Structure 1
Amino acid sequence: MNPPLRIVFMGTPLFALPSLQVLLDSPDSVVSVVCRTDSVQGRGRKCCPPPVKTLAEQAGIPVLQPESIRNDEFLASIQALQPDLMVVIAYGKILPGRLLRLPRFGTINVHGSLLPKYRGAAPIQRALINGESETGVTIMQMDEGIDTGDILLPARLPISEDDTGATLSSKLAQLGSEALREAIVRLKEGRLPASKQDDTQASYAPMLDKELGHLNWNRPARELHCLIRGLDPWPSAYGFIDGRRFRFFQPQVVPGEVQELPGTLCRADRNGVVVATAQDYLLIREIQPEGKKRMCVQACICGMQLPIGQQFS
């Protein structure tokens, strides 16, 4: 029987939690968790710990939250733990090579795409925005590049018509944890071969920004449908009528020959709002008026009158 591994886990957000839980439940030993520093959140400006920190402390695992991971002091603290393996999931910073190479088995990563497609910071959202029908996770041997390391174990997942950034992230987090469990079993048994990525097939998934969500209604409904879902919950898609911003969620393409100018608000009822686009119509079932909470359209029209016939900018 293979002896348990000493593992250092590096991760920060909710996406990393299922994988950390898998390691905590395994016969291996998580000797430390490294995550980003606590952040100030919400209107109350409360200082909140990262989700990974909360789970680690509940399990009694020592937590490190260094301001920098590139100094000798941090490297020495990891070296003193004598890790066999380091597991990194959405840590949020690029790791230096001397840290990656420190453990006996190096450092592996759970990435939210089928590499070499969608290297970078927002692979899950970009897959949705680009209208992909399939995505997945890749267990990768990390190197100093941005998601360029050797592929160890891929796992595929179909994308549904109703998936959003939030739902797909949750599915891939769970899939990633299962793939990580399998990868570590294979690693200890010496049957986890690495394969080079084909750089000619690589694509990139840059970070999202708020301007990406300002909808251009001169695009087909299908493209807007993918964009709205990919930006849900953050930064979200939006448009303006009479200077007031409305955020859009839960879209559905409604086929039909468009008679109105793109962006025209054609109908608003309990089923949603219907907006004209360059090709087909877009039914939006949830909306968030500026200064209000996200709500179904039926609740929105009970409290305010939407200007039918006007155009979203």
Structure 2
Amino acid sequence: MRLVFCGTPQFAVPTLKALLRAGHDIRLVVTQPDRPSGRGMQLVAPPVKHAALAAGIPIAQPEKIKNNQDFRAQLEMIQPEAIIVVAYGRIIPKWMLDLPHFGNLNLHASLLPKYRGAAPIQWAVANGEPVTGATTMRIDEGLDTGDMLMQRELPIAPDHTAEDIFPLLAEMGAPLMVETLERLTAGTINPRKQDDSQATLAPILKREDGQVDFTRSAMEIYNRWRGFQPWPGAYTQFRGKKLAFHHMMPMELRGEQSVPGEVGVEHGQLFVDCGANSRLEIFGVQAEGKKRMSAADFLRGHQLTTGDRLG
């Protein structure tokens, strides 16, 4: 099939490579512009650009696409049979939706209609879901509301973080998109409308999402920490400065009453009381302006005692 591929981060690379291995004719790769990054603020190309360069595919990096006449003319000249969109990071305008015969096909990292939006993997893990998955869908003018084509499930282990799930879903979703194209060509897919009443949202993450609310249960806080890796993580305030948590484990309290935010110190171990009569053991922390360290090293340097408070 004659295709245009739109994608930006590493998550999109396996699908691009799988489409090439399957023999599709990718005439153009569209990705976001190079962005300044790191301490030197040098321009860094997106992972999809590197993959396209390695495969010798022409690349377009428009800053905007909605009213970009040059870009529109470029796509109209190609006349793609389908446009594949995987984590591109731009809203697809109507003229682009209407261009290909098979439409604009998206690989979305959730089991739609659950977790529509920019951060489906993070919110699925943060909400303690036992399973997630990938959905191929035909994009419409809504937010991840288009007709579903195929789905595949992926279990989430209790200790998986969002960082663990990203590459697993990327590798699982790549052959799913290839199979979707095969079945569209063969006419063996029946697109399914989404049940909007079952929809949940997965909005883009904000820094404040990582602020720990100790009135939540320890399991809720632990799940949010897993989901918000690598950013915004989980953090609180200690003696007026930020304290980030780098590893933790929830536990229940028996015969005791928790006081949310209260610290417990025992044999070099650090505990924090949470809501619902639960407690977190904290294994790794990073104080503001300091390097990451074990909880034991942190306790040796800061003289915490049982009854101190975080938050």
Q: Provide TM-score, normalisation by structure 2.
A: 0.93
Residue in structure 2 matched with residue 36 of structure 1 by the alignment? 32
Residue in structure 2 matched with residue 166 of structure 1 by the alignment? 163
Q: Could you tell me how far 1:218 is from its partner in structure 2? A: 1.3
Instruction: Give me the CA root mean square deviation.
Output: 1.8
Pick the aligned partner of 1:204 from 201, 204, 221. Answer: 201
Question: Which letter maps to 1:287?
Answer: V
Q: Distance in 1 between matches of 2:97 and 2:273?
A: 51
Matches within 5 A, 1:1-313: 5-70=1-66, 71-257=68-254, 258-259=256-257, 261-267=259-265, 273-278=270-275, 279-297=277-295, 300=298, 304-305=301-302, 307-309=304-306, 310-313=308-311
Q: Could you tell me how far 1:299 is from its partner in structure 2? A: 5.8
What is the CA deviation profile of residues 214-271 of structure 1, one whole-angstrom value per residue up to 9, with x for unaligned ones?
111111111111111111111111011112211113322112234452112213777x
Judge conservation of contact 2:258–2:279 (CA < 8 Å) in 1.
Answer: no
Q: 1:38 to 1:195 in 2, by over 3 A?
A: same
Q: Distance in 2 between matches of 1:119 and 1:306?
A: 45
Question: Which letter maps to 1:162?
Answer: D
Q: Distance in 2 between matches of 1:247 and 1:268?
A: 20
Judge conservation of contact 1:229–1:249 (CA < 8 Å) in 2.
Answer: no
> How many aligned residue pairs are there?
307
Judge conservation of contact 1:268–1:301 (CA < 8 Å) in 2.
Answer: no
Kindly report structure 1 stretches of 4+ aligned residues shifted beyond 6 Å.
Answer: none
Q: Distance in 2 between matches of 1:235 and 1:51?
A: 22
Q: Distance in 1 between matches of 2:45 and 2:267?
A: 42
Query: Tell me, what secondary structure is at the counterpart of 1:52?
Result: helix
Q: Could you tell me how far 1:101 is from its partner in structure 2? A: 1.9
Q: Could you tell me how far 1:308 is from its partner in structure 2? A: 3.1
Q: 1:81 to 1:40 in 2, by over 3 A?
A: same
Q: 1:295 to 1:80 in 2, by over 3 A?
A: farther
Q: Distance in 1 between matches of 2:138 and 2:303?
A: 53
Q: Could you tell me how far 1:295 is from its partner in structure 2? A: 4.5
Which segment is superposed worse, 282-291 or 190-199? 282-291
Q: 1:26 to 1:231 in 2, by over 3 A?
A: same
Judge conservation of contact 1:97–1:144 (CA < 8 Å) in 2.
Answer: yes
Q: Distance in 2 between matches of 1:192 and 1:260?
A: 54
Q: 1:306 to 1:173 in 2, by over 3 A?
A: farther
Q: Provide TM-score, normalisation by structure 1.
A: 0.92
Judge conservation of contact 2:134–2:153 (CA < 8 Å) in 1.
Answer: yes
Judge conservation of contact 1:8–1:34 (CA < 8 Å) in 2.
Answer: yes
Gaps of 5+ in 1: none
Gaps of 5+ in 2: none
